[in-house]
Structure 1
Amino acid sequence: MTSILVLNGPNINLLGTRQPEVYGKTTLSQIETTCRATAAELGVELAFRQSNHEGVMIDEIHAARGVHDGIVLNAGAYTHTSIALMDAIASVELPAIEIHLSNVHAREPFRHVSYISKVSIGIICGFGPASYPLALRAMAGHLGVTA
């Protein structure tokens, strides 16, 4: 069965309380529930992880090789700073989709730069929590899953 890793980066664990005017009031737990329902509908397996630590995220990406067929990544602020995450994604040779809850292109200029997009098949941003099921559907389609 097709398997997708959804990996969340720093501060994503604070969703629902962290800057709700930017990120909304939906919690990460609620997003996970939505992702699990979407995965079930699509007929794919789902692993859902979050870490505030870049090295742990790199370890998760490395461990995905041979286990998962694609990665949906909300790298948070690491999107704009982490060459190491970019290299990890390139190294495992799995398709990745970059996601963001907010429209990073309508925010501060430093958020317009993404190392992750350089190794991603696509980017979904600005749709709040709906970014996750959109990304899962896009990844399933890319992998040839038909529900």
Structure 2
Amino acid sequence: MRLLIVNGPNLNLLGTRETDIYGSKTFEDYFVELQFKFSEVELAQFQSNTEGEIIDQLHQAHDGKFDGVILNAGGYTHTSVAIADAVAGIDLPVVEVHISNVMDREEFRHTSYISKYCVGTISGFGLESYLLGIQSFLNDSKDKD
């Protein structure tokens, strides 16, 4: 199985940004842990602060390189019709993840333009939200066997 993790704006600051919300571990360090834990899965990651680059990455994932996408669109979750359209337009399952519990935060974060087009949403489990996203793909693959 091949999965792509796409991280949106400001997630490059994990480890130093609002550590009371996002923790003190960088995503790069956590990604190494994920690769070790899920050695049977080919994991790739991409991060951008730019909406168009995220859309381009989603389009490229659609070309058969990946079996699914784990998407943390960051603040674009609540603002980007274009990223929602990209998720809707690709023929890949996408799991939306958030590190924080978005429903326990500012009201504008309660709306996701992306959720409607995803197979599921995982929110509020810290960086473990990514692990749960990967596990959801593995569980789904076992169900199909």
- SS where residue 25 of structure 2 aligns? coil
Establish whether residue 120 from structure 1 lines up as the match of residue 118 from structure 2.
yes
Shift of 1:33: 1.1
TM score, norm. by length of structure 2: 0.93
Say how many residue pairs are matched.
Answer: 143
- Name the structure 2 match of 1:5: 4
5+ residue gaps in structure 2?
Answer: none
What is the aligned-residue RMSD (CA, Å)?
Answer: 1.4
Query: 1:52 — aligned with what?
Result: 49
CA offset at residue 31 of structure 1?
1.8
Matched residue SS, 1:143: helix
Does the 8 Å contact 1:97/1:123 carry over to 2? Answer: yes
Aligned partner of residue 128 in structure 1, secondary structure: coil
Moved over 6 A (4+): none
* Deviations 1:112-135, CA, capped at 9 Å, x for gaps: 000111111111111101111111
Identity rate, percent: 48
Of the two structures, which has the highest relative contact order with CA contacts closer than 8 Å and spacing of 6 or more?
1
Give, in angstroms, the shift of residue 20 of structure 1: 0.6
> Is 1:104 paired with 2:136?
no
Whole-angstrom distance in 2 between the partners of 1:132 and 1:37: 14
Contact preservation (8 Å) 1:31, 1:132: no
Scaled by the length of structure 1, what TM-score is found? 0.92
